Amino acid sequence: MKISGEMIIGLDCIKGEGKEIKSINPLTNLDVEPGYASAKKNDVNLACSLAWSAFKEYRKTKPEERAKFINTIAENIERLGDVLIDRAILETGLPKARLEGERARTCNQLRLFASIVLEGRHLDLRHDEALPDRAPLPRSDLRYQKIALGPVAVFGASNFPLAFSVAGGDTASALAAGASVVVKAHSAHLGTSELVALAIQNAAKTCRMPSGVFSLLYGSGNDIGAALVNDSRIKAVGFTGSRAGGTALMSIAQKRKEPIPVYAEMSSINPVYLLPKALEYKAIDIAKQFVIAQSMGAGQFCTSPGLIIAINGDGLDAFISECKTLIESSGSQTMLTKGIYNAFKSGVSTLKESGAISTIAQGQNSGGENQCAPILFEASAADFIRLPELSNEVFGAATLVLRCKDFDELLQVTEYLEGQLTGAIHMIDGDEDHARQLIDELELKVGRLLFNGFGTGVEVCDSMVHGGPYPATSDSRTTSVGSTAIDRFLRPLCYQDIPKQILPE
């Protein structure tokens, strides 16, 4: 499988005619060949037109056909072997083991959705039988199932070039729902995107899926993405990225003649609470765990711990002191893109310029371009509530420790917080009363509430919620990870008194 810089539109590979863009190796800031010509509006139109006609056919595929298609995508991605992994390393600077793990996760996720299709759970079938003799009025026969909304536009994320990109959770769940998909590739990993798209295209060919069930477009700037979301044949949008990007897509989607749902996973500082007894007895242990979680993937996870909240005291001092030792002896990692690195630097500067924070510790720069060394700040809870800029996500390994004067202030901070993907509580025996009060508040702010850990691992299973109140996501009623992610692309349909002879299977 070789990359060529061509768009994947339905069953064709087409060279774009727009501005050429290239991936950049973040380790060196040097271009990576080949060039990828941006799509033009007519390419968006073609992809959407094919997606619409394919949708009408694809949504009617039998469960076995659809599951086979999705499973074949997983096989094809695995068959790409090191070609895929090597390209992803080149474009993202992520380590090989991490990318291999992410590939496994991506393929497992595809297979999970294939199994859901086979089970038919997502259809949520219901049936209220007719009650012809009911008084005062008879009841009709009523059946219920869920059907796909229509073609879905997916925006690849930079920080998971496989699991939240071309064949990531959005695409997998949309295809499982019976939707066709048009992906706008993330410009940071164009070759990785093309390789995965070719794996999908080949699966579509092998499994005789309609042309247009999947397409991949490239685009510099925002025009192509905007055109895609504005296309009347697109009926939902999946996005993982910045708050600015997500809210821009939401705004476009809402101004359409027919507004459509945008599932944008945007920003989160993921508060971590250290309760008094836990700090008293486990400050050093928690510090060790925290420093690992903070620097994991250079902090480039949506669930990275950006905020630590604790009550002033010896336990907190011990925690901070241990973090300081560990962080100061740690090195730096290459960030995914120059843009992310610049945003990290600028976010750190904004915090520093607030005049309300002090730097506890910073790691060493290990050399190379776009390096992120972990950094730990401290501020008072009162200043955090006073200064909105302290609440902004700094994407990368930066964490702010909030010192609260008492538990009431800790609750005030919680009430002040915006919506978050995760909230973590560290507690041991004796912290229960505080924990219960905190949970009551924190439940209203997060999609996942976790204990004695950090939010960085997101399990793909039935009970997972990778979502949360705005601005963590645009729609707190949904999750982008786990089996219920498929529900985002479905809507209910009721059939009343449908004659037996035309009852669909």
Which residues are known catalytic residues? 265, 302
Q: Give the chain's length.
A: 505
Looking at the Cβ atoms of 208 and 501, the one nearer to a second copy is 501
Least distance from C-beta 181 to a second copy, angstroms? 17
Tokens of 324: 């300081």
DSSP state of 426: E
Looking at the Cβ atoms of 2 and 137, the one nearer to a second copy is 137
Q: Which one of residues 137, 208, 355, 367 is an interface residue with a second copy (CB under 8 A)? A: 137
Query: Cα(323)–Cα(321) distance, rounded to whole angstroms?
Result: 5
Least Cα distance to 54 among 232, 141, 170, 181 occurs for 181
Least distance from C-beta 501 to a second copy, angstroms? 6
128 is a contact residue toward a second copy (CB under 8 A):
yes
Q: Which one of residues 93, 261, 306, 347 is an interface residue with a second copy (CB under 8 A)? A: 261
Secondary structure of residue 354 in the 3-state scheme:
coil
Interface characters, 485-504, with a second copy (x: CB under 8 A)? --x--xxxxxxxxxx-xx-x
Least distance from C-beta 45 to a second copy, angstroms? 18
444 is a contact residue toward a second copy (CB under 8 A):
yes
Least distance from C-beta 393 to a second copy, angstroms? 16
Question: Is residue 166 within 8 Å of 64, Cβ to Cβ?
Answer: no
Binding to a second copy (CB under 8 A): which residues in 234-253? 250
Q: How many residues bind a second copy (CB under 8 A)?
A: 72
457 is a contact residue toward a second copy (CB under 8 A):
yes
CA 383 to chain centre: 30
Least distance from C-beta 44 to a second copy, angstroms? 21
Q: Which one of residues 390, 464, 480, 486 is an interface residue with a second copy (CB under 8 A)? A: 464
Query: Cα(425)–Cα(408) distance, rounded to whole angstroms?
Result: 16
Query: Cα(449)–Cα(423) distance, rounded to whole angstroms?
Result: 5
Q: How many CB atoms lie within 10 A of CB 412?
A: 17
Question: Is residue 186 within 8 Å of 193, Cβ to Cβ?
Answer: yes
Query: Cα(427)–Cα(274) distance, rounded to whole angstroms?
Result: 7
Omega cis (within 30) before 305: no
Looking at the Cβ atoms of 185 and 411, the one nearer to a second copy is 411
Instruction: Name the strand (E) or helix (H) holding 402.
Output: strand 398-404
Looking at the Cβ atoms of 32 and 498, the one nearer to a second copy is 498
* Site stretch for a second copy (CB under 8 A), options 174-182, 283-291, 327-335, 462-470: 462-470
Q: Which one of residues 36, 446, 456, 480 is an interface residue with a second copy (CB under 8 A)? A: 446
Q: Which one of residues 15, 56, 96, 205 is an interface residue with a second copy (CB under 8 A)? A: 56
